[in-house]
Amino acid sequence: MPRYALTLEYDGGPYMGWQWQDHGPSVQGAVQDAVARLNGAPAIVYGSGRTDSGVHALAQVAHVDLLKDLRTDKVRDAINYHLGEHPVSVLDARRVGDDWHARFDATHRRYLYRILDRRPRLALDRGRVWRVPVRLDVDAMDVAARELLGRHDFTTFRDTNCQSKSPVKTLDMARVSRVGDEVHLEFAARSFLHKQVRSFTGSLVEVGLGKWEQDDVRDVLDARDRTACGPVAPPYGLYLVSVTYPKAS
């Protein structure tokens, strides 16, 4: 059975997350239904990771085994056709080895969190960006974000329902910058804990509002206590930007 890697973008707003749910719509479920119509039989679509309810993706990666050896452009176009009105699109499909795995072979994941720090309410970007009605001190947020870099026990920034075996992760990038009218927070690591990026974001916004200092971020990190975390940012400002694999993949 030929295996295909799929790169997808989606609006996470209508879904309960990437992972299939028996009590609500999921991105994985929508893609699997489309694949089944192409394939003539059910097939499991394995994602590079789970995005939470309401979280978007610019380049989620998944893989699926099909019954027939089809051209990659046909796989892409046929799945998109069968997705119908779902706000999910397959951007690319490519053949990969039988042992290639979208989740376990991934070496790097990058996320972007978008904030619009303005007083007027949102019209065009509602559900795509978090509006904070006070101008944020981006420079202070960027300096504080550096406290999170490296290998740490991130219990403070880990959701209580996280299923990861360990709270210890290595954060390779934490950057805050102003891009046009928006504030962008970028994070990269091999893997993340449940709601880790949203927890980072909410705490760094406390710095941007002047409620926390740089040292407060270090203190709550060292506390290893979930109750020390700042408010968790809403899901709709978060985007899975990219997933990286070894060059030979």
Q: Which residues contact 165 (CB under 8 A, 6 or more apart)?
A: none
Closest by Cα among 218, 191, 34, 26 to 111: 191
Q: What is the mean pLDDT of residues 152-168?
A: 94
For residues 249 and 239, give the distance between their C-alpha atoms in angstroms, rounded to a whole number.
24
pLDDT score of 211 more than 90: yes
pLDDT score of 230 more than 80: yes
Decide if 215 is catalytic: no
Structure pTM? 0.95
User: Do 145 and 176 form a contact (C-beta atoms < 8 A)?
Assistant: yes
Looking at residue 14, what DSSP letter applies? Answer: T
User: Do 155 and 129 form a contact (C-beta atoms < 8 A)?
Assistant: no
Q: What is the mean pLDDT of residues 46-66?
A: 97
Q: What is the pLDDT of residue 163?
A: 86
pLDDT score of 249 more than 80: no
Which CATH number is associated with domain 108-244? 3.30.70.660
Is residue 53 very low, low, confident or very high in pLDDT (cuts 50, 70, 90)?
very high
Which amino acid, 165? K
Average of per-residue pLDDT values in the chain = 96
User: Do 28 and 47 form a contact (C-beta atoms < 8 A)?
Assistant: yes
Reported as a single tens digit per residue, the pLDDT across 166-177 is 999 999 999 999
Phi-psi region of 88 (alpha: psi -120 to 50; beta: other; left: phi over 0): beta
Cα 206 to Cα 101, 136, 209, 237, distances in angstroms: 38, 9, 5, 16
pLDDT score of 89 more than 90: yes
Three-state DSSP at 49 gives coil
Task: Please tell me if the domain spanning 3-96 has the same topology as the one spanning 108-244.
Answer: yes
pLDDT score of 21 more than 80: yes
Lowest-confidence range among 15-24, 25-34, 207-216, 226-235?
15-24
Q: What is the pLDDT of residue 248?
A: 58
The pair phi, psi for residue 240, each rounded to 5°, is: -80, 115
For residues 43 and 70, give the distance between their C-alpha atoms in angstroms, rounded to a whole number.
15
Q: What is the mean pLDDT of residues 67-89?
A: 97
Q: What is the mean pLDDT of residues 140-164?
A: 96
What are the residue ranges spanned by the domains of the chain?
Answer: 3-96, 108-244
Q: What is the mean pLDDT of residues 179-192?
A: 97
Catalytic residue among 11, 52, 117, 142: 52
pLDDT score of 93 more than 70: yes
Topology of domain 3-96, CATH: Alpha-Beta Plaits (3.30.70)
For residues 40 and 205, give the distance between their C-alpha atoms in angstroms, rounded to a whole number.
49
